[in-house]
Amino acid sequence: MPATKAKPPRLPVLQEDKLNPDQRTLLDSLREGPRGTGVQIRGPFAVLLHAPAYGELAQKLGAHVRFSKLVPHRLTELAILVTASLWRSQYEWHMHALHAAKAGISDKIINDIRMGRVPKGLTKDERAIYDFVKELHKDKRVSDRNYKRVHAIVGDAGMVEFVGICGYYVLVAMTLNVFRMPPPAGAPLPFKEK
């Protein structure tokens, strides 16, 4: 892992006991949803609390696509990792590398993605997801071949949600990168900072 230091965040991380009523409502909504009561004020949530009306809309979309029943969790986490690596999103990578490992993605595959290498040992469905996400970011389009490969896994409604996963995690990566939200304290930066 690169031993570079994170730049300071551009927005202050709000303290839970100092939230205004709208911010408190958003935090409660985050904790009542599928993310659970352990939600902390960090990462994208530390940013979204500064604009709670927008934050509520964003977090609901995120909860829906991340916990989609139409796209297997392992494949969702793989797509998020590929996105995080392409955007060099420190916090997003840190958190979702942990989630991907728990979902069954090997450490070797996780590290290959972080290093920008095509991972060896991907299953057929993982390779379809990997190729789709890489092509979408590179070409801003997806070939019929890659579309059909993912469609065979998730079907029509799953394709809509899968594209939503890809788009939502670009939104998260942009948010984290612009506001320079680092991984949790003490965690190494997965990508070298410019």
Residue type, 111: N
Q: Residue 162's domain is classified under what CATH number?
A: 1.20.1290.10
C-alpha 12/C-alpha 46 separation (Å) is 8
Same domain, 78 and 62: no
pLDDT of res. 4: 66
Q: Domain range for residue 40? A: 16-66
- Domain assignment present for residue 50? The answer is yes
Which pTM was predicted?
Answer: 0.94
Contact yes or no for 176/45 (Cβ under 8 A): no
pLDDT tens-digit series, residues 73-101: 999 999 999 999 999 999 999 999 999 99
Same domain, 51 and 115: no
User: Considering its fold, how many domains does the chain have in total?
Assistant: 2
Same domain, 93 and 143: yes
pLDDT tens-digit series, residues 7-39: 899 999 999 999 999 999 999 999 999 999 999
Residue 153, CB half-sphere, CA atoms under 13 Å: how many?
23
Same domain, 81 and 31: no
Residue type, 13: V
C-alpha 27/C-alpha 16 separation (Å) is 9
- Domain assignment present for residue 194? The answer is no
C-alpha 85/C-alpha 31 separation (Å) is 27
- Domain assignment present for residue 89? The answer is yes
